[in-house]
Amino acid sequence: MCRWLAYTGEPLRPATLILDAQHSVVAMSQNSPLGAETVNGDGFGFGWYPADAGRTDAAGPRHPFVFRSIEPAWNDQNLREISRAVVSPLFFAHVRAAAGPPIQQTNCHPFRHDGWLFMHNGAIAQFGLIKRDLTLAVDPALYPLIQGTTDSEVLFHLALTYGLADDPIAAVGAAIRRVEELGHAAGVRFPMQGTLAVSDGKTLWAFRYSSQGRSRTLFHSADVPTLRAMYPGAERLSLFGDHAQVVVSEPLNELPGVFHEVGESTVAVLDPDGYHHRDFLPA
């Protein structure tokens, strides 16, 4: 369906991962060996929290900025310029393979609301059967903010409706359970599929879940000090601070031990204390 990457840690030029990694996000847009589709050329998006602006408190930046385009990521010079000019402590990148909703800018991820970013790789199966009921479950105050036609954007606004700002894990769980309830009632055996990421600019939550228990792939990086000990001659590691963490659809390189798979029905939480995970919607 799509491929995505999320970074959090010391401020970094996003091009370091979006463009320059061995298997960068742009490379994934052209060739994604672990993806449902090999090519993800139906648009892209880049969302970031700036390192030097938009702060609401000493804890970190809160207001994200978004650049989205229907161009293939490999063919967009603006993405190259922006990702090399920006410095960010937390950013999202997403390349899209359209599964049904049309190719238009408002259907490109990530989606934004206030201080939140959201992106999704996967699909709500037979979305058209339950689209009306799902959309009607969105808070009426949020409904006018839905700009596109994707299942992912509706899922984001459902999570906002169910209290994303107060408890992201519970809110995403409630949104997915609503999808499953309506899907099962409509005769859809496995309504939910995918991995998704959400952030408030300080913490990153990355979810891997599907109704079938066969979710899209998701990996997180090992901590940088450990990697420096494993690969003392790897000059590229000098680009990253000790707290740098990446969650990504596919490993960015082929070095053993650099990326670890996130388990099924798991939410990975990346915050200033590091990486930890917990079960998510266990059967």
Mean residue pLDDT of the chain comes to 90
Q: Show Cβ contacts of residue 117 under 8 Å, excluding neighbours closer than 6 positions.
A: 47, 64, 66, 92, 110, 111, 197, 198, 199
Where is average pLDDT lowest: 55-64, 161-170, 205-214, 255-264? 55-64
pLDDT bracket for residue 169 (50, 70, 90): very high
Where is average pLDDT lowest: 24-38, 146-160, 243-257? 24-38
Mean pLDDT of 94-116: 87
Query: Which has the higher per-residue pLDDT, 43 or 191?
Result: 191
Judge whether residue 154 has pLDDT over 50. yes
Judge whether residue 204 has pLDDT over 70. yes
3-state secondary structure of 229: helix
Mean pLDDT of 211-218: 94
Residue whose C-alpha is closest to residue 209's, from 196, 199, 221 = 196
Judge whether residue 182 has pLDDT over 60. yes
Q: Give the span between the Cα atoms of 61 and 199, in whole angstroms.
A: 11
Q: Give the span between the Cα atoms of 242 and 229, in whole angstroms.
A: 12
Judge whether residue 143 has pLDDT over 50. yes
Mean pLDDT of 142-148: 97
Q: Show Cβ contacts of residue 206 under 8 Å, excluding neighbours closer than 6 positions.
A: 6, 195, 196, 197, 218, 220, 247, 262, 267, 268, 269, 270
Judge whether residue 219 has pLDDT over 70. yes
Compute the 3-state secondary structure of the chain and give helix, strand, coil in percent, each to the nearest 5: 30, 30, 40
